[in-house]
Amino acid sequence: MPSQVWLRAASTGWRATGVLWRWGGAIPDRASNTMEMLSVVQARQAEAVGHKVELRGWVRTRRDSKGGFSFVELNDGSCLGNIQVIAEKNLPNYESEILHLSVGSSVIVRGEVRASPAKGQATEVLAETITLVGTADPENYPLQKKQHTFEFLRTIAHLRPRSNTFGAVTRVRNCICRSIHNFFQERGFFWVHPPIITASDCEGAGQMFRVSTLDPAKPPLKEGQIDYSQDFFARPTFLTVSGQLEAEIFACSLGKVYTFGPTFRAENSNTSRHLAEFWMVEPEMAFFDLNDNMDLAEAFLKRVFGDVLTQCDEDMRFFEQRIEPSARTTLEGIVNSEFRRLSYTEAVDLLIKSGQKFEFPVAWGTDLQSEHERYITEQVFKCPVILYDYPRQIKAFYMRVNDDDRTVRAMDVLVPRVGEIIGGSQREERLDVLEARMREMHLDPTAYWWYLDLRRFGTVPHAGFGLGLERTVQFVTGMANIRDVIPFPRTPGIADF
């Protein structure tokens, strides 16, 4: 009974030490006769030798020896590696069950951790009992002991977390999220929660998903138009595309804040770098200018990458070996280097003088193309690059206008392979300039009365940026397609699972 096992495990005190143990803390210094419930990552440590343990997980593969025993590779998701379980033929269910354990079946193993006499693993578990919990019919179980394409794994999104790659992605993604929170929390930022459902329909960041409870077959009409006054919120509402404006509200009260949650874009984008639902981190800081913003973005990325390197070493070595040979070395290089900072104008000059042939021409005043950004970050500097001070006509209304009147205090952080990973700016804090900019971009200032109030009452310079979580996971792991770094990707035409 799982509940009994749980109680017994709790009484041995492993829960109190488990977390420390996992991250390099001490393993209990006694080889007790009491059964301890361990994860595979714990049982694989040499310090676990001599402990009586219970392990629970899924069979990855089985190898039988006519010498009278079987090797069962057990994985429980706690780490990339499996624990090798030795099942001898004197086990009562050896013939009936263990010899038929197939890939994907779930088992509970009790036994003693021993030093492994063979190469390939530090420890192994000599089973005293193996309880079959759930079978997985090998004729029908889709996951095999071989490499699958990511396209195929996407069609079995409910089973792909059991694959090595997706398990590693999930652990690294979790590490990145923990690191994000730690970074901000340690620096006195408050995590704020802007609404998912918003009434702002023109935040300037692309097409939005409509939220409505009206019957699409027969919506209430008023003068030929849909009457949203009869909708749930008595007005048109949408899924948020960004929590930035709300974050500004809290930054102008609490100083330093960040949002971290899902955002939505209804763009018909079919690329390996876009999702309709993705997670975004948006810090916003009062009294920060663009230089402070760039400093923070750089320190932030270095912290996250550094944490992944130290906390996900096994997974990162897997990505290096199987997915992207430069995955680890790229991160190591970044943690110990300085990001290259370059104004938009300097970047345009550099591109024009490079003599490089581009499909699209480079000209001051137009947005840089993917090929231009890639050339700068991959060919010229071979490291993250921060571009700043973009032409005002290609950037959003809320970005602070420079004294030259031609550029705004915007910044993009570009990284190799992925491109733009962070976009941010210093915000326009001058009421008259902001209103003029809104009219220039044909936005109605009255719809943003609350946003303008922040400039009317105790306005302060402030700045912030947005980081795409999935692009960060992509960059860190080297995974080529963004659909393979989020559990259940949403893209045009696809909302399975």
Nearer to RNA, 62 or 171 (CB): 62
State which of positions 328-347 bind RNA (CB under 7 A): none
> How do 256-264 and 190-191 pair as beta strands?
parallel
Which CA distances in Å does 218 have to 140, 234, 236? 45, 17, 16
Nearer to RNA, 21 or 471 (CB): 471
Of the ranges 136-144, 295-303, 343-351, 443-451, which one interacts with RNA (CB under 7 A)? 136-144
Adjacent-strand bridge partners of 65: 69
Q: Is residue 419 a contact point for RNA (CB under 7 A)?
A: yes
Q: Is residue 96 a contact point for RNA (CB under 7 A)?
A: no
Of the ranges 61-69, 183-191, 297-305, 311-319, which one interacts with RNA (CB under 7 A)? 61-69
Letters for 263-302 (x = contact with RNA by CB under 7 A, - = none) are --x-xxxxxxxxxx-x-x----------------------
Nearer to RNA, 17 or 71 (CB): 71
Q: How far is the CB of 493 from RNA (least distance, A)?
A: 4
Nearer to RNA, 433 or 495 (CB): 495
Q: Are 54 and 109 in contact (CB under 8 A)?
A: yes
Q: Is residue 177 a contact point for RNA (CB under 7 A)?
A: no
Nearer to RNA, 9 or 275 (CB): 275
DSSP 8-state class, residue 463: E
Residues 232-250 as b or e (16 or more Cβ within 10 Å = b):
eeeeebbbbbbbbbbbbbb
Among 34, 229, 253, 370, indicate the residue that binds RNA (CB under 7 A): 370
Among 83, 176, 422, 438, indicate the residue that binds RNA (CB under 7 A): 422
Nearer to RNA, 360 or 497 (CB): 360
Q: Identify the burial level of 356 via C-beta atoms within 10 angstroms of its C-beta, where 0-12 means exposed, 13-18 middle and 19 or more buried.
A: middle
Q: How far is the CB of 378 from RNA (least distance, A)?
A: 12
Adjacent-strand bridge partners of 177: none
Number of residues that bind RNA (CB under 7 A): 72
Residues 123-133 as b or e (16 or more Cβ within 10 Å = b):
bbbebeebebe
State which of positions 459-478 bind RNA (CB under 7 A): 466-468, 470-471
Q: Are 372 and 362 in contact (CB under 8 A)?
A: yes
Give me 186's structure tokens. 């340690």
Of the ranges 45-53, 146-154, 247-255, 297-305, which one interacts with RNA (CB under 7 A)? 146-154
Q: How far is the CB of 18 from RNA (least distance, A)?
A: 25
Q: Is residue 142 a contact point for RNA (CB under 7 A)?
A: yes
State which of positions 374-413 bind RNA (CB under 7 A): 374
Of the ranges 27-35, 118-126, 231-239, 426-434, which one interacts with RNA (CB under 7 A)? 118-126
Q: How far is the CB of 39 from RNA (least distance, A)?
A: 19
- Dist CA 255 CA 110 (whole Å): 53
- Dist CA 160 CA 488 (whole Å): 10
Among 423, 441, 445, 453, indicate the residue that binds RNA (CB under 7 A): 423
Q: Is residue 86 a contact point for RNA (CB under 7 A)?
A: yes
DSSP three-state, residue 277: strand
Picking from 294, 384, 376, 297, the residue whose alpha carbon sits closest to that of residue 336 is 384
Residue 221: φ, ψ to 5°? -115, 150
Which CA distances in Å does 416 have to 8, 194, 340? 50, 31, 13
Element (H, E) at 413: strand 407-415
- Dist CA 103 CA 468 (whole Å): 36
Give me 103's structure tokens. 């890939």
Cα angle, residue 231 at apex, residues 228 and 236 outer, rounded to 5°: 50
Q: How far is the CB of 9 from RNA (least distance, A)?
A: 26
Among 338, 367, 404, 444, indicate the residue that binds RNA (CB under 7 A): 367
Nearer to RNA, 60 or 462 (CB): 60
Nearer to RNA, 12 or 121 (CB): 121
Q: How far is the CB of 169 from RNA (least distance, A)?
A: 15
- Dist CA 273 CA 51 (whole Å): 46
Among 17, 102, 129, 356, indicate the residue that binds RNA (CB under 7 A): 102
Nearer to RNA, 17 or 102 (CB): 102
State which of positions 242-261 bind RNA (CB under 7 A): 242
Of the ranges 114-122, 217-225, 294-302, 440-448, which one interacts with RNA (CB under 7 A)? 114-122
Q: Are 466 and 424 in contact (CB under 8 A)?
A: yes
